[in-house]
Each structure stands twice: as structure tokens, then as C-alpha cells.
Amino acid sequence: MDIVVSWPKKNDLTFINKLYKVFSMQKLVQKEIKRLTKLGASYVDIRVHLKDISETLSSSDGLLEHYQIEKRFGFGVRVLYNGAFGFCSMEDIKHLEQASNLALNQARNSSQFIQTPIELIKKQNHQATYTTPTENHPEKVPLKDKISKLLSLASPLADKKFLHYGNKIGFYDREIYYADSEGSELTKSIVDVEAHLYANALDIDGLLQERTYNLYQNPNTSVGFENLSNNQQINHGERLNKELHELLKAPLCEKEVCDVILLNEMMALQTHETIGHALELDRILGYELSFAGGSHVALSDLGKLKFGSEKLNSFADGTTQCSPGTNGFDDEGVKGKQVQLIKDGILQNTISSRQSVIEANQKMNQNYFIESGGACRAQSYNKLPIDRMNNINVAYGADGSLQDIIKNTKNGIILESPKSWSIGSNRENFHFACEIGFKVIDGEITNTVRNSTYRGDSLPFWNSLDQVGSEETWQLQQVFYCGKGQPNQIMRLGHGVPVCRFSNVEIGY
């Protein structure tokens, strides 16, 4: 592994001690992998979180409401023995051998009962580092500056007609060391930044209405405290204030069938629930049925199913820069890659891991999958990695700007910001409520509407896609709280999506 070291200042014992601890830890991990292999393990990987910090601040009605910083350290050992996995995690690296023995014994015991022995498809081994591009690291920003930024971002939402207003900002900082028995050795330094604004009030009928905004990312910049000073991304308080005032006196969304134009936050939810979760391979294989549901997609659909119109092109992209779903390598050492899930409307691939693609090939009686999709991910060191979305993106099209799409719409509605959602257990249908809608008649926005909703069956809905915005409409939306697994794991990921229009959709039901 190539290691770049900035030589410490004279008598900088803190730096030297830290460097010594890191080298000692690496030596200990490599020694333990060799020991487990000699004891019969066919595969071993060890993930060490050298640093795992989450820091969150929130405000309510102009005052600091909550501050929390959580600092963690720990490691997880995954052992494959005779076709079965064992896993154990602990916090103190001094107990690595103890944890390894527990993981090995668990795998040995499980191997006596497993019906389908686990195999892992081959991967390329790497000795590499990955670092999130960052200009102003949140760790170096004084707390007083973070509080000041928090309160200033929410200040445009102060209004005597609103019940409450506020916001939240969060910083996530991780340093991870990974090694496996196949020869991969990786270090990752990862930074994520989230921000959320909200304001709510009672409308003319006494019902609660709310407008919110979530920070999106520009993949061509960086991730750090600088994101909170980017006017294009974060200073949306005045817009939310204006829209909430309009919403309070707006007419209700009427029941009808019309064209639906989804802005970026709604497109991200639509993509997440009806493409992302539906195409996770472990769901297709039936492993989530008892907890989070399965998928309406079958293995036999691959390469054949008309998932959407010819305008739909979607990717599971582990290379999207500046996204919470990009970590350089997944949690079994597979390098991030771009996998085309849907090409010109036809289903091509899935979100997968080394284990799931082997099992799928066996059930299909063919080598349909030639490699892992690089989407085996865990919430932290104390969780077993499973098939998880990384960045599920929809490619932009050639139908112009939002204004172009509006001009081409005779009778439609523009929808933005998820309010509530209901999804079929196999992701076969959905019903979404939105915070705000804008009615479009003869190519122009006529008015704002309240309580807007839309529903549909997933495949017919995606097949009704008839307008895909150009590159200028594409945004990288962040998702920080996606749950899945037993026990549940909360993951961070991204969705790069354009503005899109769907024809003949039921709204207001």
C-alpha cells in the first residue's frame, strides 16, 4: 500500500503516537487474517473504524434546540467457513482475537445447517486509499461558527403566521481501515454533510401545512462546511417562506388524471422506492420478505422486462462524486463502479454483492452476472454488510429545462417534497403525498394547490415517462436515513435525478 506521510513538526509526539498505533493495528489485523485462514476459514475480512464521528445541531424558532456529538471506535470480523458466514464486532482492538474466534465458531456452527453454501464471486484486489474531496473540514470549524451558521440559515423562515420553524445540520466523519484474506487493503476517509430547513402553519381549513428543504450536493465541487455557504444549495429560506404563505390559502388538489411533473426531491423518492429497493438483489432472492418486503421483479425478468419507457436510463453508480453513497470501495473491498440497471426502459441489472450474484446465477442456471455490483454495505463496523443502494441515478435526457417541460404540458401538476408515502410490500405500487403542488394549464403555472397526492402501479408509471429534463435539471439528492435489514441498518446514499414528466397519472386520490 502506498502511504503518504506528512512529517510532523519537531517534538510532535501526538502525531508520532497516532502513526505508531495505526501501523500496530494494521500489523495486528494482518496477523489475525492469517491465523483464521490457517484455522480453516476460506475467506476473512476485517473492517476497523479508526474514527466514526457524527455531530448534529438543530434549532427551533430561532433558538438552539439540540446539540449532540457521538464518537465511536470499533471493528467487525466476517469469516466464511464451509459455506457459512460468522460475524462479530467489538470496540477495543485488543480483543481482536477473541472476536475472531467468536466469528469463526459462529460460522462453523452455522455451516452444519446451511442449505445453500455461500460462495463469493471473484473480485479484483486493491491496495488503495479513498478520500472525500473536502475544502473546509467540519472537524476544524469551531462550534460557535456552526451554531451561528445554523441560526442564520433558519432566520428567513421567522414569520408571525407560522407555528414553528427551524433547521438541522449534520456532519459525519469516518476513517476506515479494511483488509481481507484475498489481499485487499484499503483506507477510507469519508465526510458527509446534511442540512434540513422547515416551517409549518395552519391553513384556511385549520390543517397543518409544512414546507421543507434538504441540502443537495454538486458532484463537481467538494463536501465540507463550505456546503453550508453555497448560496445555490442552501439559502432557500426565503423561497420556503413565500411558498408556505401561498400554500395556506391555496385550493385543495382535485381528483383527476393528468400529467405529473416531478421536481428533484420527489423524483429522488420515486427512484428510491420503486427502482432502488425493487432492484436490490437480496430482495429479489427473497431475503427481506419478513421484514421490509420483496420485489415484483423476478430473475427471469433480467434482460427482458420493459420496466419503463425508452426514455428511462438508470444506474447504480458507486463513482458519483461528493455523494453519501460513494465510499470508493464497498464493505467487501469491491471498487465503486457504474452499473446500468435499466437501459432504454429495459431491465438489465440489479444492485448486488459478491454473495447474491453467485446465488442468482445458480438459480438462473447461467452466468448472467459476471461480477459484484459493488453495493455490499454496512451502517457501521458492528453491522454485517448486505445488498444496499449506493447512488441510484436516473440519466438526464434531451427534453430541455423545467420551463420547456411546463410549456409542453397542456394539463398537469408540478409536485415537490415528500410529505408521506405508502409502498406495496413488493414495490409493485405506491401512493405519495407531496408538500406542495403547482397546477399547469396550457403551458403555464396557474396556481398553488394543497394536499397534493399521486398514485400508480410501478411499471405502468415508469412506462408513462414521456419527458426527461436536460442536464441543467439534474441534481444529486442526498438520503441520510434509509432503513433495511434485520437488525435494521440506517444508511446514507444519493440519487442523481432530472426533472421528469409522466402522462395520465391519478392525482388527488
11 confidence band (pLDDT: 50, 70, 90): low
Amino acid code (one letter) for 110? S
Which ranges constitute the DSSP H helices of 81-163? 96-111, 143-154
Confidence of residue 5 (pLDDT cuts 50, 70, 90): very low
Domain 13-248 matching CATH 3.30.2290.10: the answer reads: yes
DSSP characters for 289-315? TTTT---S--GGGTTT-B-S-TT--EE
Does residue 29 have a pLDDT over 90?
yes
CA gap 107, 96 in Å, rounded = 16
pLDDT at 356: 98
The share of the chain scoring above pLDDT 90, in percent, equals 92
The pLDDT of 57-72, averaged and rounded, is 97
Q: What pLDDT is stored for residue 4 in this prediction?
A: 36
Indicate if the pLDDT at residue 105 is higher than 60.
yes
Overall average pLDDT of the 365-372 stretch: 98
Q: State percent of the chain over pLDDT 70.
A: 95
Query: What average pLDDT does the segment 283-289 reach?
Result: 91
Helix or strand holding residue 18 (H, E): helix 13-38
Among candidates 493, 484, 217, 212, which has minimal Cα distance to 330? 493
Query: Residue 365: what pLDDT?
Result: 97
Lowest mean pLDDT among 68-82, 220-234, 346-360, 393-407: 220-234
pLDDT class of 19 with cuts at 50, 70, 90: low
Query: Could you read off the pLDDT of 148-179 as tens digits, one per residue?
Result: 999 999 999 999 999 999 999 999 999 999 99
pLDDT at residue 479 tops 80: yes
489/481 Cα distance (integer angstroms): 9
Mean per-residue pLDDT, 91-114: 97
Would the pLDDT of 9 be above 80?
A: no
Q: How far apart are CA 232 and CA 128, in angstroms?
A: 34
For 124-152, the pLDDT digits (tens) are: 999 999 999 999 999 999 999 999 999 99
- The least confident of 8-17, 179-188, 254-263, 312-321 is 8-17
Is cis: bond before 487, omega within 30 of 0? yes
Q: Where in the chain is the domain with CATH 3.30.2290.10?
A: 13-248
- Is pLDDT at 10 greater than 50 in this prediction? no
Chain segment 201-233, per-residue pLDDT in tens: 999 999 999 999 999 999 999 999 999 987 667
- Please report the pLDDT score of residue 20 as a whole number: 61
Q: Fill in the amino acid letter for 423.
A: I
What is the average pLDDT across 428-452?
98
Out of 54-63, 121-130, 224-233, 279-288, pick the least confident.
Answer: 224-233
Task: Please choose, from the candidates 148, 168, 154, 169, the residue with its C-alpha nearest in 3D space to the C-alpha of residue 241.
Answer: 154
How distant, in Å, are the alpha carbons of 10, 163, 175, 202 from that of 237? 48, 16, 34, 18
In the numeric block, which cell numbers belong to residue 431?
401512493
Distance CA 420, CA 125 (A): 43
pLDDT at 290 over 80: no
Tell me the average pLDDT across 375-379: 97
pLDDT at 1 over 80: no
pLDDT at 7: 37
Asked if the model's pLDDT at residue 268 lies above 90, the reply is yes
The CA distance from 75 to 383, in Å, is: 10
The 10s digit of each residue's pLDDT in 346-368 is 999 999 999 999 999 999 999 99
The yes-or-no verdict on residue 465 having pLDDT over 90 is yes
Rounded mean pLDDT of 369-384?
97
Which positions ≥6 away from 17 have C-beta within 8 Å? none
**pLDDT above 90 (res 22):** no
Q: How confident is the model at residue 23 (pLDDT cuts 50, 70, 90)?
A: confident
pLDDT at 67 over 60: yes
Q: Tell me, what's the pLDDT at 8?
A: 40
Q: CB under 8 Å to 289, separation ≥6 — which residues?
A: none
Mean pLDDT of the chain: 94
Has residue 390 got a pLDDT over 90?
yes
Residues contacting residue 85 through CB under 8 Å, at least 6 positions apart: 78, 79, 107, 110, 118, 384
